[in-house]
Amino acid sequence: MPDTSTVAEATQTPVYADDVSELDPSQRGNDPLLHVEHLVKEFPVSSSIFRRGKKRSVHAVNDVSFDIYPEETFGLVGESGCGKSTTGRCLMRLINPTSGTVVFNGEDVSNMKGKQLKGLRHDMQYVFQDPYASLNPRMTIGELISEPMYIHNEGGTNEERIDTVRQLLKVVGLNPEHINRYPHEFSGGQRQRIGIARAFALHPKLIICDEPVSALDVSIQAQVLNLLDELQQEFGTAYLFIAHDLSVVQHISDRVAVMYLGSICEMSDWRSLYAEPCHPYSQALLSAVPVADPDLQRSRERIILAGDPPSPIDPPSGCLFHTRCPIAQEICSKEKPELREIEPGHFCACHFAKPFPIEGSSIKL
């Protein structure tokens, strides 16, 4: 891969001080497992043949850059339509990014074809949101979980594969005797366990978890979160954890990025993001999450954002958030704020983020 080294040099991958301290010392200074830079994905809006004119497109992902290090969990959080799932799908080339660089494991993903792509999809796996839709209803769970092994021709003979599937079922907390059952015979949480078992079948280095628990009930959600935690400790897999639920992301992630309208507006290790959110959107998002504590709920101040997120077809000029931002100034509608490091490891894309607090704002910055 010729361009990897240049890419790495050019970006000067920042050191995430807090984060690295949490990782194994041997990781320090290691190259990221996944390096994403200026990722852009635009979907053309289909126009009628009778109405020719300026081509319009949905700016689903708008200049997103981040790194994921081995064995860490990187949380990507945002509201529906903010492009977090599209980002995940671009990384795996389930959809092709419009532009930008994705380097996984030292190899440029963006131009992979055929065999290389197959190799990528060996080391990177995907867990889908909907456990009902992501399992082929006409395959038994044995066939489902062993499918990656068949595709990549791994795991030895059929009997050995079946053996591995049984072990995987045990690992994810399902009864290995149910290997011949169909997905519809399982509950939502159990199906998600099947999906997770399938993702782990090839010992991937990175698993993209796309809202893996949002379709599940609270008690089942906790089971699956714990399972993901245990499997990570067991196998040292890195996760890209995509979710809209801030408390779930907080629970599972080492570092978190908040997305709004296709861009990352804040990125930090989970502790400083949740303790001191710097971007007004992160603050509003955090304050909007209902906490299961009535007293706290009554006492705390809430920032309720007015209106809906703007359409990604015509994103606002300047800062994408300025249309709903409670502290927006003139500059916000004109200049797009860069994602800059305001504290070691804490990135924020706001003109007024620390160390330039804005006077008299109702929001503590």
Partner 1 sequence: MPIGDKKREERLEEEVFNKLVDGSDAALHAHNEAHQAASQVEPGGYYRYVDSEPEHHNDFLTTYDDVVAEVDSDAPTRTLWSDAWGRLKKNRLAIIGACWIIFMVIIALTADLWAQQLLGSPTAIDTGTAAATQLQPPSLEHPFGTDSVGRDVLVRVIYGARVSLSVGVIATAISTVIGLVMGAIAAFYGGIWDTLIMRLADIFLAFPYTLFVIAMLAVIGNGIQNVFIAIGVLGWPSIARVFRSAILSVKENDYVDAARAMGASDGRIITRHIFPNSVASIVVYATMNIGGAILTESALSFLGMGVVPPNPSWGIMIQDGQQYLATEPWLMLMPGIAILTTVLAFTLVGDGLRDALDVKMKDA
Partner 2 sequence: MAFGKKKGEAKDPLANTPLSGILDGITDLKEQPIPEGHHLLEVDDLHMFFHTKDGVVKAVNGVSYTLDRGETLGVVGESGSGKSVTAMTIMGLIDMPPGKIEGGDVLYRGKSLLKMSEREMQTVRGNDIAMIFQDPMTALNPVYRVGDQIGEPLRIHRGYSKKDAVDRAAELLSMVGIPNAEQRVREYPHEFSGGMRQRAMIAMALACDPDILIADEPTTALDVTIQAQIIELMQKMQEQNGNAIIMITHDLGVVADIADKIMVMYAGNPVEFGTADDIFYNPIHPYTWGLMRSIPEQVTDEKKPLTPIKGNPPSLVTLPKGCSFSPRCPYATDLCRNEVPKTYTLPDGHYSKCHYALDPDFVKGRAPENSRSYSGGTPRVVIDEPAGAPVAGMAKSEPGTVTAVDGALAQKAPEAASAEEGEE
Q: Which of 12, 298, 355, 364 binds partner 2 (CB under 8 A)?
A: 298
* Cα→Cα distances 240→89, 233, 252, 304, Å: 11, 15, 10, 29
**Of the candidates 48, 218, 330, 364, which one interacts with partner 2 according to CB under 8 A?**
218
Q: How many residues bind partner 2 (CB under 8 A)?
A: 45
Stretch that binds partner 2, among 17-25, 27-35, 160-168, 270-278 (CB under 8 A): 270-278
User: Quick one: which of 297, 354, 357, 361 contacts partner 2 (CB under 8 A)?
Assistant: 297
**Min separation Cβ 194 and partner 2, Å:** 14
Binding at 83: pick from partner 2, partner 1, none (beta carbon under 5-8 Å per type) = none
**Quick one: which of 172, 246, 256, 320 contacts partner 2 (CB under 8 A)?**
246
Supply the angle between the helices 218-235 and 188-200 in degrees, to the nearest 10: 10
Query: With contact defined as beta carbons under 8 Å apart, do 335 and 318 qualify?
Result: yes
Q: Rounded to the nearest 10 degrees, what angle do helices 141-151 and 188-200 cross at?
A: 20
Structural tokens at position 201: 């079948």
Find the shortest distance in angstroms from Cβ 300 to partner 1: 32
**Min CB(80)–partner 2 separation in Å:** 6
From the list partner 1, partner 2, none, partner contacted by residue 288 (C-beta under 5 to 8 A by kind): partner 2
| Burial class of residue 247, CB neighbours in 10 A (0-12, 13-18, 19+) | middle
338 scored as a contact of partner 2 (CB under 8 A):
no
CB distance 192 to 133 below 8 Å: no
| CB neighbours of residue 134 within 10 Å | 19
- In the complex, minimum distance from the CB of residue 305 to partner 2, in angstroms, rounded to a whole number: 5
User: What are the Cα distances from residue 71, in Å, to 202, 205, 254?
Assistant: 16, 8, 10
Among residues 272, 287, 254, which one has the least CA distance to residue 348?
272
As measured in angstroms, the least distance from the Cβ of 210 to partner 2 is: 16
Instruction: Give residues with Cβ within 8 angstroms of 157, minimum separation 6.
Output: none
Q: Which residues bind partner 1 (CB under 8 A)?
A: 89, 92, 94, 117-122, 125-126, 128-130, 133-140, 147-148, 151-152, 155-156, 160, 163-164, 167-168, 170-175, 177-178, 180-182, 184, 190, 195, 198, 203, 223, 226-227, 230, 234
Q: Is 274 in the site for partner 2 (CB under 8 A)?
A: yes
Q: Indicate the helix (H) or strand (E) that contains 78.
A: none
* Shortest spacing between CB 197 and partner 1, in angstroms: 10
Tell me if residue 335 falls in helix, strand or coil: coil
In the complex, what is the shortest distance from the CB of residue 342 to partner 1, in angstroms, rounded to a whole number? 36
Which tokens is 254 given? 């080492």
Phi, psi angles (nearest 5°) of residue 290: -70, 130
- Whole-number Å distance between alpha carbons of 128 and 358: 41
Nearer to partner 1, 221 or 268 (CB): 221
Would you count residue 21 as binding partner 2 (CB under 8 A)? no
Measured from the CB atom, the residue of 88 and 189 that comes closer to partner 2 is: 189
End-to-end CA distance of the chain: 43
Query: Which residues sit at the interface with partner 2, rule CB under 8 A?
Result: 79-80, 187, 189-190, 217-223, 225-226, 229, 244, 246-248, 250-251, 271, 274-275, 284-285, 287-299, 302, 304-306, 308-309
